[in-house]
Amino acid sequence: MAQLLLNANATVTISYSRSRDLPELARQADILVAAVGRAEMVKADWLKPGATVIDVGINRVAAPERARASSSW
């Protein structure tokens, strides 16, 4: 994704889950691509108004409707 954006003349900053001051780095982004693999890693207050978030990470989260359905068995 970074290379595609660079090819389109975008300014790209690459950071990691343990980058120093990750929330501040995220606040600077117009487009944030999250590939962490941890649910809810990016918080709403990390984003500036109008920012686009693309989450390409994979994780498992229990679906609330399935938890209710299985409890009635």
What is the share, in percent, of the chain residues with pLDDT greater than 70?
89
Question: What's the CATH code of the domain at 67?
Answer: 3.40.50.720
CA distance 35 to 39: 10
Residue 68 has a pLDDT of: 57
Q: Give me the number of domains the chain comprises.
A: 1
Question: Comparing C-alpha atoms, which of 15, 13, 48 is closest to residue 30?
Answer: 48
Summary mean pLDDT of the chain: 87
Domain holding 48, by residue range, is: 2-71
pTM higher than the cut 0.85: no
CA distance 48 to 13: 16
Mean pLDDT over 19-43 rounds to 92
Residue 67 has a pLDDT of: 56
CA distance 34 to 17: 9
CA distance 2 to 40: 22
